[in-house]
Structure formats: C-alpha cells, structure tokens
Amino acid sequence: MSIQTKKIKFRPPEKANIEVKIEDLIQCFPEGVVVFNAARQVSFVNTTITAMTGLSSAGFDLSAFRRLFHHENLTNLAIRQVFSGKKFLHILEIKLTRFWYELFLLPLHHDTTTSGAILMLRDITREKEIDKTKTEFVSLASHQLRTPLSIMKWYGDMLLSDDVGRLNAKQQRYLRAVYESNQHMVDLVNALLNVSRIEMGTFTVEATMTNVPALARDVINGLTPQISSKKLKIKTYFNPAQLALSVDQQLLRIIFQNIISNSIKYSSAGTSIHITLQKNSSDLLFTVTDQGCGIPPEQQEKVFTKLFRADNAPSASPEGTGLGLYIVKSILDTVAGKIRFESKFNSGTTFFVTLPLTGMKSSPGLQTLIPTKI
C-alpha cells in the first residue's frame, strides 16, 4: 500500500501585509515604543507606552513626556545629541508614581543621515523591588554579624593588653592573627552596611566647618602600620596648609581612607605615594599617586562598579572586596563631588577627587556611614 503525498505551494505574503504584521508585533511589545521623525514629530506610538504613561497617542510629544516624569536630564541638549547622531544611546532610570522605568533614546539612521529617533520605555519595577529586598537582607545580616564581631574585638583587646594576664610570645602571635582577621571582618561588615544605606538612600550628611588638610593628615597617621610594613614614602603637598570647608567629616574620612589605603595596598614595597590637596578657583582638588600595579586598560571602565576587582589586584593584595571605590563614588555623587583616575598597567595610578568650595550640603537621613579601610 503506497502513501500519496500532496504538494503544497508556498506563496510569500505581500509586502504590505508584512509591514502590517511588523506594526502589529510592535504593538504587542512589553516595552513602550515611540518613533519620532527628523522633525521630532511622533510617527508611531504603541499601546504599551500609552498604558504606562496615560498619554494619548495624539498628545504624545517629548515635552509632554518630560513634564510627566519631571526629569531634567531629558533636556533639549540630550535630545539634540540623539537626533543629530552625536550620541548613540541615552539611558535613564525614571519613576512614575510607584513604578520604575528604564528609558532608552536612540537615533534612527537612513543611509548616513539621522532620520529620527526611537524612545523605548521598559518597566523595571520588579528588578528594583528585588534589589531592595537584597539590600534589606544584606543590611539585616550585617547588623546581626556586627554584634558578635564587636564582642570578639573587645575580648581580643583585653587579652592583647594583658588585662587578664600575660601571654607568652607564641600565644600573642596567634591571638594577633585572630584579632587582625576579626578586624578585617568588622571592616567588611561595615562596608556592607554602608552599601545598604547608600542604596536605600538612608544615610545622612551633616556638614560642619572642617580643617580638611588636618583631617587628611589624621587619616594618613591612622594608616602608619600599613605604610611602615611596606616601607613606603608618603609625600604630602597641601596648598594651603590650612583650609576650612563645610563638609561631613565622616564622609570625607571615608573618601580619604579608601583612596589612600588602596594606594598603599597596591603599591610596590619601598616606593613613594604622593598626596596633594590643592585649592582651585571653584573647587578643592585631592589627588593620590602611587607606583603600584596599575589597572588593566580593558577593565578600567568597571573600576567604580560594586564588587569589582581587577584581575591583577588579588596578586598585589589578597584582601579586598571591590566595595571601597563604589562607596566613594556614591558619596561624591550625593555631595556634588567628582572622581576620576588615570592608570598605566604595572606603572601606577592617580586618583583625582574634586569637591566644590561651597562644601557639602547637609541632608537628613536615618543613619551615618562608617569609616572602613576596605
């Protein structure tokens, strides 16, 4: 018995039908999509973005969108850069009522000219809620860990100071190793607490008039054991030698500690570290230059991201969490400061920090940040 098969001829759909299907497909996107022509007029709006924003397709334009989100970064300059093709992608995180969105604004190209732009809006509320839950968990766990670690540190202080009897040299050596490991854990927990307070937006800024060079010298003096162990030469250049600025002393101490201790950790033994404070016309410039291992060029863009450590960092200094520079950058973003760096692989790194001479502005919060050397 033979089975007969019937041949079916495939007929490609007409071009018009394909275009309709593409438009229907974009209408079903979970992301909101708006297409602008070269004159910045709306040529297409999908139903998702009208549902997200409450704006009708007829009344949708960039100015209405900007007013809705109260976001100054959607300025005419940013829009001009995208429409002219000078900026390939403009990304923002914006909030509307209780929802968070990620906004993408990118140019449309026809041959070699920019023919318009596409605005896409993606709902990231769930991701934000997950991040918040993780941050709250880290905060809770860090608080629970901090108490037993503090007790261990207290007992270690008592034993090492011979308050409960004299220890022999071998016992002191072992106890010193336990004490230093415990201190490293305390610094790690404090750094995690700082990260959670930064991400939850709960840290306070309390600005008072402060002698900035004196604070920098105090931080350097506190790092003397690490400096001595590597036989480093610290050269300071403070101009002027005394400068009062309205800053949060705790936050500025964290900035100084992290940058200077990083230079110490990654410097080669017997080399020099140059630390400067220079008053300019509108800001205070703080720089730290070392002769350490440097940062690989292909990884430099990740330096200020959370938990990042360059590939060559562990061999130069096994200790490190990748949280210090993330914390420093977050603080400076909050207080209108800036940070950048220049680095040559295997030749050293210079960090540049600027603070406005107007100082830091006080702002209320639930908790302060804790100085650490991580």
Q: Measuring CA to CA, how many Å separate 183 from each of 260, 327, 361?
A: 19, 19, 32
User: What pLDDT is stored for residue 136 in this prediction?
Assistant: 76
Domains of the chain: 15-123 (3.30.450.20), 127-200 (1.10.287), 208-356 (3.30.565.10)
What is the torsion angle, in degrees rounded to the nearest 10, for the CA atoms of residue 287, residue 292, residue 295 and residue 297?
100
Q: What is the pLDDT of residue 35?
A: 85
pLDDT on residue 374: 64
What does the pLDDT read at residue 190?
Answer: 85
Q: How far is residue 87's CA from residue 158's CA, in Å, rounded to a whole number?
A: 61
The DSSP code for 3 is: P
Q: Which residue has the tokens 């839950």?
A: 133
Mean pLDDT by 10 residues, the chain (374 residues): 51 56 80 83 85 77 70 61 66 78 80 78 86 77 81 86 84 88 86 84 90 96 93 95 92 95 92 95 95 92 90 80 90 94 93 95 84 71
Rounded distance between C-alpha atoms, residue 149 and residue 257, angstroms: 22
DSSP state of 57: S
Cis ω before 30 (30° cut-off from 0): no
Helix (H, G, I), strand (E, B), or coil: what is residue 357?
coil
241 in Cβ contact with 281 (< 8 Å)? no
Instruction: Return the closest-CA partner of residue 197 out of 249, 142, 246, 262.
Output: 142
pLDDT of the residue at 223: 93
Burial class (CB in 10 A: 0-12, 13-18, 19+), 47: middle
| Cα→Cα distances 9→5, 6, 12, Å | 13, 10, 10
pLDDT at 189: 87
- Structure pTM? 0.68
> What pLDDT does 1 receive?
47
Phi-psi region of 111 (alpha: psi -120 to 50; beta: other; left: phi over 0): left
3-state SS class at 82: helix
How does DSSP assign 154-198, residue by residue?
HHHHHHHTTTT-PPPHHHHHHHHHHHHHHHHHHHHHHHHHHHHHH
Provide the 10 A C-beta neighbour count for residue 73: 14
pLDDT for the residue numbered 13? 55
